[in-house]
Amino acid sequence: MEIIHSARPLYAMAVSAVAVVLIGFSYERPNLREFWTILAAVVKFAIVMSMVPAVLDGKTIEYSLVTILPGLEIGFKVDPMGILFAATASFLWILTSFYSIGYMRTLKEHAQTRYFMCFAATMTATIGAAFAANMFTLFLFYEAITLCTFPLVGHKETPEARAGARKYIVYLLGTSLAFQLFAIFLTYNAAGTLEFSSQGILAGTASKTMLTVIFVLFIAGIAKAGIMPFHNWLPAAMVAPTPVSALLHAVAVVKTGVFSILRVLFFVFGTDLLVDLDIGTAAAYFVSFTIIMASFVALTKDNLKARLAYSTVSQLSYIVLGALLLTPSSAVGGIVHIANHAFSKITLFFCAGHIYAAAHKTNISQLGGIARRMPWTMAAFFIASLSMIGVPPVAGFVSKWYLAVGSVEALNYPVLVVLLASTMLNAAYFLPITYKAFFEREKEDEYHHGEEVREIPIMAIPLVLTAVGSVIIGLYPDYFIALAREVIR
């Protein structure tokens, strides 16, 4: 495997860090300030994409930034899994930036400078996590994401927002300090290093009990992946403005969580060790519980964002499940779902925010007939729902297919049942929304002020684009699948 030494991963990460400063200084000129955000997003995406050809070719790009202590190094490594995550995140940031501008200006939100600064900072940390070469760097950026998103979650500064933000940080910081850090210490003690390696670093270093303990600690400590019972922060974080929920909780924060788990599973433990330890199956069942349970809870929620939140919890566990089944196909399914879910979920959240901004409606029961006034939005919503359910030709189908094939490969039929059941549950809680929007009558109630409810272009275009993106990825998944296959080789 050829290694290229280049500072490009650092640049990709640092672009938005520079933007944070520029945004801060432009606080008096909103248009200039927004320009920095867009510019940074585009440049970041460009730098990330420029590294894709090399990665597809089988090479990795490495860069070592600084050694803090012997054994603790801040280093970057661009490999297939990282570039998949980074490409998805950076592309979606561009769209989210436009959407954010529309959302914030329509609602005349306060503290916009702080908002955009924290957004840029979070993206810095996300790309940093995507390209992390060792567990320490990953942990550093994982925690940095928590910090940077805290002001975003509590943005509205109402008591509910504060309570939600507090819950958010308690769950994330608590689990990462108590469990993840412990696991990192134990890993370092056992393996003597924290560098990611495709064969894993823990093989043969400690007893089975110790390795299982480390495994459990990692799973418990990476609460960003939303595995029950540490998922509560996700619905609590829905107090954030919708663009925040869209990018961060459909793409950046939660994907960093599952990404970290995948890194731990594949690059710290290694598939061979996991097979040896025989924990894959038990963990797979544990995660399946989340998939089903979250779907049931989603059914009960009337608040649109809450329903989407629980849907996210459920979908994230697909990714983890894919990895835990320990077969090539399921792993591919899990990894491509990072991208597929990102595109689809962000569409759904964009729609939710757009509905709130344009029509001031938050609950599903209020959405009767809204498709008449917001056709593009609801069409996009419908497409994204299909992706969640797993209907061809939309993206979600690809992931589900590979997961199903993988579970058959693993001779794990209960998991197959879980997949089918959750597909049906997904349908049960998504389709009614579309139906209501298109086919029900508009209610005359206190929410209908008689004003014109119109779609706002700057918000509508991004969500249409992401919906279309979902379809494109569904039809031409080869790019992502190729990357995913590279990972498991």
Partner 1 sequence: MISAENLPILVIIIPLISAIITPLVGRIHRSIGWLVALLATSLSFAYSLALIRSVMENGPISYWLGGWEPPWGIEYVVTPFNGLVLCVVSFITIVITLYARKSIEQDVSESKIPFFYSLYLLFFTGLMGIVITGDIFNLYVFIEISALSGYALVAMGRERDALIASYNYLILGTIGASFIVLGIGYLYMVTGTLNMADLSARLPELYDSTTVRSAFAFFMVGLSLKLALFPFHIWLPNVYTHSPSTVSALMAATSTKVSAYVLLRLMFTVYRPEFVLTVVPVTKILLVLAALAIIIGSVIALAQTNIKRMLAYSSVGQIGYIILGASIANQASMTGSLMHIFNHALMKGSLFMVVGAMVYRTGIVNIEDMRGMGKKMPFAMAAFTIGALSMIGFPFTVGFVSKWYLAVGALKADMWYFIPIILLSSLLTAVYFWRIVEAIYFREKSEKLAGLPSEPAEAPFGMTATTLFLSLLCIVFGIAAFIPTKVAAAAAKLLLGG
- Enumerate binding residues for partner 1 (CB under 8 A): 66-70, 72, 136, 139-140, 143, 147, 151, 154, 157, 162, 165-166, 169, 173-174, 177-178, 181-182, 185-186, 188-189
Torsion of CA 351, 357, 360, 366, to 10 degrees: -10
Cβ-contact 115, 155 below 8 angstroms: yes
Task: Work out how close the CB of 348 gets to partner 1 at its nearest, in angstroms, rounded to a whole number.
Answer: 28
Lookup: tokens for 421? 């059941």
What is the Cα–Cα distance from 9 to 5, expressed in whole angstroms? 10
Using the 8-state DSSP alphabet, how is residue 176 labeled? I
Lookup: tokens for 117? 């600064």
Task: Work out how close the CB of 154 gets to partner 1 at its nearest, in angstroms, rounded to a whole number.
Answer: 5
Which residue type occupies 143? Answer: E
Task: Work out how close the CB of 137 gets to partner 1 at its nearest, in angstroms, rounded to a whole number.
Answer: 9
Nearer CB in complex with partner 1: 53/70: 70
Structure-token match 């823990």, residue found? 202
What is the Cα–Cα distance from 469 to 456, expressed in whole angstroms? 20
What is the Cα–Cα distance from 371 to 442, expressed in whole angstroms? 9
Task: Work out how close the CB of 339 gets to partner 1 at its nearest, in angstroms, rounded to a whole number.
Answer: 28
Task: Work out how close the CB of 57 gets to partner 1 at its nearest, in angstroms, rounded to a whole number.
Answer: 33
* DSSP 3-state percent helix, strand, coil across the chain (nearest 5): 75, 5, 20
Nearer CB in complex with partner 1: 107/206: 206
Nearer CB in complex with partner 1: 91/150: 150
Task: Work out how close the CB of 127 gets to partner 1 at its nearest, in angstroms, rounded to a whole number.
Answer: 17
Q: Is 475 left (phi over 0), alpha (psi -120 to 50) or beta?
A: alpha
What is the Cα–Cα distance from 157 to 11, expressed in whole angstroms? 34
Task: Work out how close the CB of 328 gets to partner 1 at its nearest, in angstroms, rounded to a whole number.
Answer: 34
In angstroms, how far is CA 171 from the centroid of its own chain? 17
Nearer CB in complex with partner 1: 80/128: 128
Nearer CB in complex with partner 1: 162/373: 162
Which secondary-structure segment (H or E) carries 464? helix 457-475
Helix (H, G, I), strand (E, B) or coil at 66: strand
**Is residue 393 reached through a cis peptide bond, with omega within 30 degrees of 0 on the bond before it?**
yes
Nearer CB in complex with partner 1: 132/488: 132
Q: Nearest Cα to 180, choosing from 229, 139, 147, 127?
A: 139
Nearer CB in complex with partner 1: 93/142: 142
Nearer CB in complex with partner 1: 189/300: 189
Task: Work out how close the CB of 153 gets to partner 1 at its nearest, in angstroms, rounded to a whole number.
Answer: 10
Q: Nearest Cα to 171, choosing from 104, 268, 261, 237?
A: 237
